[in-house]
Structure 1
Amino acid sequence: MNLLKKITYLKYKKNPYFHKFYTEIQKKPLEHLTFCSFDLETTGLDIKKDEIISIGGIKIKDLKIELSSKFYKVVRPKKKIKKESILIHGITTADIETALPPEEVIPNFLEYIKGTILVGYFISFDISILSRYSQEMFGIPVLNPYIDIRDIYFSKLKSRYTPTEKREEKNLEQLAEEYG
């Protein structure tokens, strides 16, 4: 663990919620780690202002997807969903009318991801928004280590000496198709 991470953990270790939502990942072979692939949908793309409207996650334990332990909740935001966002994720105002407020969903999700390595596409966006909620509610950000699929893709392009101007931004569906 690098020095910056150690300092961050020490800073939050006395927080009463630290052990409820975080546990250090023990050094184990890759095949024995637990990952959580997750994604958020939001009212927009502003990390500081927009709100979560759905959270989905699925655990991968011992390199096997645990379908029985999936997590999916629609979340009722305080603000209206932007039309541009509805076109991207398809979640409408009608879908969120009966949804739970973030105060009921976020703690459950933080417990769900405890002890996992988070995996996602452009995951820093999702972690930033989730951390904002966690920080507001519990005074602690999301501290889980994470892997960004997008970064892996770009590192593969770099290893093939692809010039920067020829590196094509692909979405998650395109990457899944390319890599089977």
Structure 2
Amino acid sequence: MLLECVERCFGHDFRRRRLLARAPAGPLRDYLATPFPAPDAPSRETAYLALDLETTGADPARNEIVSFGWVCMDGDRIDLGSARHYIVRLRGAVSDASAVIHGITDDQCQTGCHLESALAELLATLAGRVMIAHRAETERGFVGHACEAIYGGRILIPTVDTLRIAIRAKARQNRPLQRGELRLSALRQKYSLPRYRAHNALSDALSTAELFLAQQTESVETTPLKNWLTLR
């Protein structure tokens, strides 16, 4: 009970330090050694990393990451020079169903990078930043499972979930959801954002970063970061 009270009071950074104390040496420990952005900091002055993953399925325990795509955002500026896209060498085969969605074939995966190298670069870039993702449980679930499998430790990622922001906005409007209106492409259309190719990890990461910028414009006053964070 006392531990739960302390976690509620001190939040993500207290949990980060607890995980750091148990983390083995390596990329995960280096990531956890970097303090998270302050929850009370203005959201438009915070450092972010928008991440998207393409996977072979929905279950991190059974399925694999096919590709990583990410781009950094500092305040309201998206740094296109930071953009990265990696196709991952898989242990198994790409199923026909997932290949139809993301368009990545077995041949491409055979020449891709190792999961360990892509994950290590992601953690180094993500350190000190807040992750942005659309339906973020996918990215957190797969990255978390990969960290446990490769490094033997748990990760904690402060996250902004653009899907949850949209759900909260709909709840305030007190009207029923229409089918498909919470998809990334549909939400971008609402804000008159350009249409990009879907199910490419890098273009979806960029799409999500732009969507979050648009969602912030609905907040008239300067908003603290904690108002956008998904707390888990």
Q: Please say whether Structure 1 and Structure 2 have the same fold, judged by a TM-score greater than 0.5.
A: yes
**AA partner of residue 54 (structure 2):** E
Specify which of 86, 90, 94 is matched with residue 73 of structure 1.
86
Q: Counterparts of 1:60-99 in structure 2 under 5 Å? A: 60-99=73-112
Partner of 2:16: 9
Specify which of 18, 33, 37 is matched with residue 26 of structure 1.
37
**Can you give the 5+ residue segments of structure 1 that lack an aligned partner in the other structure?**
none
Aligned to 2:150, the other structure's residue is in SS state: helix
Aligned to 2:127, the other structure's residue is in SS state: coil
Aligned to 1:69, the other structure's residue is in SS state: strand
Query: In 2, distance between residues paired with 1:47 and 1:135?
Result: 11
Query: In 2, distance between residues paired with 1:5 and 1:120?
Result: 18
Do the aligned partners of 2:140 and 2:157 also contact (CA within 8 Å) in 1? no
Do the aligned partners of 1:37 and 1:60 also contact (CA within 8 Å) in 2? yes
Query: In 2, distance between residues paired with 1:80 and 1:72?
Result: 20
Query: In 1, distance between residues paired with 2:93 and 2:133?
Result: 26
Q: How many pairs are equivalent? A: 178
Query: In 2, distance between residues paired with 1:7 and 1:26?
Result: 13
Higher relative contact order (CA 8 A, sep 6+): 2
Q: What is the root-mean-square deviation of aligned Cα atoms in Å?
A: 1.9
Do the aligned partners of 1:20 and 1:111 also contact (CA within 8 Å) in 2? yes
**How much has 1:135 moved relative to structure 2?**
1.4
Query: In 2, distance between residues paired with 1:86 and 1:174?
Result: 23
**How much has 1:167 moved relative to structure 2?**
4.6
Query: In 2, distance between residues paired with 1:26 and 1:8?
Result: 14
TM-score, length of structure 1 as denominator length: 0.89
Aligned to 1:147, the other structure's residue is in SS state: strand
**AA partner of residue 73 (structure 2):** I
Query: In 1, distance between residues paired with 2:179 and 2:171?
Result: 12
Partner of 1:144: 157
**AA partner of residue 33 (structure 1):** T
Partner of 1:171: 183
State the identity %: 21
Query: In 1, distance between residues paired with 2:78 and 2:17?
Result: 33
In the alignment, does 2:128 pair up with 1:121?
A: no
Query: In 1, distance between residues paired with 2:82 and 2:13?
Result: 30
**Can you give the 5+ residue segments of structure 2 that lack an aligned partner in the other structure?**
1-6, 193-232
TM-score, length of structure 2 as denominator length: 0.71
Do the aligned partners of 1:115 and 1:144 also contact (CA within 8 Å) in 2? no
Aligned to 2:81, the other structure's residue is in SS state: helix
